[in-house]
């Protein structure tokens, strides 16, 4: 192992250097130098266009949040959160709708999350026709209009018992959430490197144990984020609830009864001709928006914390 012989004069032409090299080098240098200014200008224009596009895509969101806040924030008061008196009367509030929404969405999460995660595990573990079909079905289900889900839930769980209920609403929302949960959970679990699976298996650990302790643990931040976002999506859905939970003026904790929900309040009061009702609708819209925002931010914080723990 000796050091290579240091060749003679620097820049000395090696045997493989073709004659045209110097001319070509000059030509290439000149062309790229000439085009550099043009490319830089093009780059600046492209960056400016990107910023315009970002502004355009942010504008509706900002406008929506600002407008809802400005219209809704006046409706807020202690009574608004604690009373369930209909709008128009003094001391009116939507506590029945807030609690109703929490019950309906909470129960739907209880139904959809376990089923969704286990289905995602199945998709992760199995290749082949069944898994492909399930994945395709989940994709199709994502695109099904929520009103169709509502009428389906009506046919399946309301009509047979001739009874509207929070539970029926939860069922409809669970159907809506399921495909979102399946696909986001699957991609969260797929992000756990194959090498970690194999490291677990190579230690003689049972497959199920590897899944629980390594795959699910590794995917936890993604699972939490995906599921919370599915909940955030479901809490604002109106159409499925119109056919199922239907709404109520009463404060109700029994999931077997017709129940109020924030989107239903917005729908019913927002289309009312009375200013007091509209005020309530804007207040409910603001609360709902804040809830979704908190849920989305919370999902990020929890995921970030879990990631740090893992690291």
Positions that interact with other proteins (CB under 8 A): 1-4, 6-7, 10-14, 16-18, 20-21, 24-25, 27-29, 31-36, 38-40
Shortest Å, Cβ 58 to other proteins: 24
DSSP-derived secondary structure letter, 259:
B
Q: In sequence order, which residues have a C-beta less than 8 Å from that of residue 236 and are 6 or more positions away?
A: 262, 263, 288, 292
Q: In sequence order, which residues have a C-beta less than 8 Å from that of residue 266 and are 6 or more positions away?
A: 238, 281, 284, 285, 288
Shortest Å, Cβ 221 to other proteins: 21
Kindly tell me which of 15 and 61 has the beta carbon lying closer to other proteins. Answer: 15
Kindly tell me which of 11 and 208 has the beta carbon lying closer to other proteins. Answer: 11
Shortest Å, Cβ 194 to other proteins: 18
Shortest Å, Cβ 16 to other proteins: 6
171 vs 158: CA distance, rounded Å:
10
**First-to-final CA distance of the chain:** 42
Kindly tell me which of 33 and 203 has the beta carbon lying closer to other proteins. Answer: 33
Kindly tell me which of 14 and 143 has the beta carbon lying closer to other proteins. Answer: 14
Kindly tell me which of 4 and 143 has the beta carbon lying closer to other proteins. Answer: 4
Tokens of 118: 């286990």
Q: What angle do CA 151, 156, 158 make, to 5 degrees?
A: 80
Q: Rg of the chain over CA atoms, in angstroms?
A: 29
Nearest partner of 285 among 70, 12, 22, judged by Cα: 70
Q: In sequence order, which residues have a C-beta less than 8 Å from that of residue 141 and are 6 or more positions away?
A: 175, 178, 179
Shortest Å, Cβ 5 to other proteins: 9
Shortest Å, Cβ 301 to other proteins: 20
Kindly tell me which of 35 and 142 has the beta carbon lying closer to other proteins. Answer: 35
């Amino acid at each position: 192992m000796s050091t290579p012989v240091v060749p003679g004069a620097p820049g000395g032409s090696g045997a493989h250097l073709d004659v045209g090299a110097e001319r070509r080098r000059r030509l290439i240098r000149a062309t790229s130098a000439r085009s550099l200014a043009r490319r830089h200008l093009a780059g600046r224009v492209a960056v400016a266009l990107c910023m315009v596009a970002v502004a355009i895509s942010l504008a509706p969101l900002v406008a929506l949040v600002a407008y809802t806040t400005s219209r809704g924030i006046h409706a807020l008061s202690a009574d608004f959160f604690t009373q369930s008196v209909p709008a128009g009367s003094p001391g009116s509030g939507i506590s029945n709708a807030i609690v109703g929404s929490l019950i309906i969405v909470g129960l739907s999460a209880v139904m959809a999350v376990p089923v969704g995660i286990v289905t995602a595990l199945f998709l992760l573990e199995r290749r082949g026709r069944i898994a492909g079909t399930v994945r395709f079905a989940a994709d199709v289900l994502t695109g099904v209009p929520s009103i169709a889900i509502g009428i389906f839930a009506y046919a399946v769980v309301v009509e047979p018992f001739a009874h509207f209920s929070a539970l029926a609403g939860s069922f409809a929302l669970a159907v809506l959430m399921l495909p979102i949960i399946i696909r986001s959970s699957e991609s969260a679990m797929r992000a756990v490197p194959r090498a970690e699976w194999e490291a677990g298996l190579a230690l003689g650990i049972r497959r199920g144990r590897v899944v629980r302790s390594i795959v699910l643990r590794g995917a936890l931040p993604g699972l939490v984020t995906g599921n919370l976002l599915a909940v955030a999506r479901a809490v604002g859905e109106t159409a499925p609830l119109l056919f199922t939970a239907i709404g109520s003026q009463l404060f109700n904790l029994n999931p077997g009864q017709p129940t109020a929900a924030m989107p239903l309040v917005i729908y019913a009061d927002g289309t009312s001709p009375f200013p007091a009702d509209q005020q309530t609708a804007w207040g409910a819209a603001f609360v709902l928006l804040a809830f979704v925002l908190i849920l989305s931010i919370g999902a990020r914080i929890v995921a970030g914390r879990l990631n740090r723990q893992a690291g």
